[in-house]
């Protein structure tokens, strides 16, 4: 039915109000074709978010996810948009395929992004002793780093207005430690060696332990 639904929409105008995923999905998306960020309701649960968590943990969970998708996406300023990942220049603010950066900007961006590419290319997934492909995962790695930095800055700003933080009973960790602990938790998982090899060869995301 899913493929049939897609085929039936081929000759119709793009419906920019249509969601790309169901509400129960635990994930988040940036769609360059429609220039939209989507957070299905399913992700608003532990470990990403809980109303009873200390704020530091929520910022280190759903806050980082929001920052990740914003880094993929854009800011609209005076009808222009500034995208931050390596594919943003290929789509304009209406989601049309159009490289709207000038050549000098592209060169400068690639120079600055090279450090992240090299950094991740030096990482090895110990489980299978294979190196990460820093080039094919560059866009997601940029979004991971951008999301983490922006969420941490947002938390520190929140903290400056709320100097008495909510404590986590029985855990002797600072709020900063809780922020990064929960960030680590959102990428916890296990996979067999076959799946690990497949992900390293085909996925645009770095595997969980590297993220």
What confidence tens digit (pLDDT) does each residue in 80-114 have?
Answer: 455 566 676 777 777 788 877 888 988 888 898 89
Q: Strand 29-31 and strand 124-125: pairing?
A: unpaired
Q: Find the range with the poorest average confidence among 41-45, 82-86, 151-155, 176-180.
A: 82-86
- Of 69, 85, 117, 140, catalytic: 69
Query: Using 50, 70 and 90 to split pLDDT, how confident is the model at 165?
Result: confident
**pLDDT above 80: residue 158:** yes
Of 31, 28, 55, which is closest to residue 44 (Cα–Cα)?
28
Residue with tokens 């094919």: 136
The pLDDT of residue 82 is: 52
- Which one is the CATH code of 46-202: 3.40.390.10, 3.30.465.10, 3.40.50.150, 3.30.565.10? 3.40.390.10
Q: What is the mean pLDDT of residues 31-50?
A: 89
* Strand bridging mode 124-125 / 74-77: unpaired
Mean pLDDT confidence for 19-45: 86
Give the pLDDT score at 77. Answer: 43
Average pLDDT (24-30) is 91
Distance between first and last Cα of the chain: 35
CA dist., res. 41 & res. 63, Å (int): 14
* pLDDT reported for residue 112: 87
pLDDT at 157 over 50: yes
> pLDDT tens for residues 113-142?
899 999 999 999 999 999 999 999 999 999
Q: What is the pLDDT of residue 91?
A: 79
pLDDT of residue 46: 96
Name the band, by pLDDT with cuts 50, 70 and 90, for residue 1: low
Would residue 92 show up in a list of annotated catalytic residues for this protein?
no
CA distances from 120 to 17, 64, 176, 203 (A): 36, 19, 24, 14
Tens of pLDDT, residue by residue over 167-199, are 888 889 999 999 999 999 999 999 999 999 999
Q: Which residues touch 133 (CB under 8 Å, ≥6 apart)?
A: 121, 200
48: number of Cβ within 10 Å:
24
DSSP label of 200: H
Residue spans of beta strands (DSSP E) within the chain: 29-31, 36-38, 74-77, 80-83, 124-125, 130-131
Domains of the chain by residue range: 46-202
State the catalytic residue, choosing from 92, 144, 159, 193.
144
| Cβ pair 137, 120 in contact under 8 A | yes
Residue 140 annotated in active site = no
Torsion of CA 171, 174, 179, 185, to 10 degrees: -30
- In tens, the pLDDT along 64-78 reads 999 999 988 755 444
């Amino acid at each position: 039915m899913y493929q049939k639904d897609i085929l039936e929409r081929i000759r119709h105008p793009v419906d920019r109000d249509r969601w790309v995923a169901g509400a129960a999905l635990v994930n988040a998306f940036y769609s360059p074709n429609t220039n939209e960020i989507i957070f299905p309701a399913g992700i608003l649960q532990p470990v990403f978010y809980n109303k009873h968590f200390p704020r530091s943990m929520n910022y280190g969970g759903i806050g980082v996810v929001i920052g990740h998708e914003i880094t993929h996406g854009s800011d609209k300023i005076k009808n222009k948009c500034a995208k931050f990942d390596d594919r943003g220049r290929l789509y304009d603010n209406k989601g049309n395929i159009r490289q709207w950066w000038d050549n000098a900007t592209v060169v400068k961006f690639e120079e600055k992004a090279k450090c992240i590419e090299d950094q991740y290319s030096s990482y090895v997934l110990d489980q299978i002793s294979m190196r990460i492909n820093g080039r094919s995962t560059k866009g997601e790695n940029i979004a991971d780093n951008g999301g983490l930095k922006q969420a941490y800055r947002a938390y520190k700003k929140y903290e400056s207005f709320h100097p008495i933080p909510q404590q986590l009973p029985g855990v002797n960790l600072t709020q900063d430690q809780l922020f990064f602990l929960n960030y680590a938790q959102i990428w916890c998982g296990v996979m067999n060696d076959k799946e690990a090899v497949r992900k390293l060869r085909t996925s645009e995301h770095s595997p969980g332990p590297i993220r």
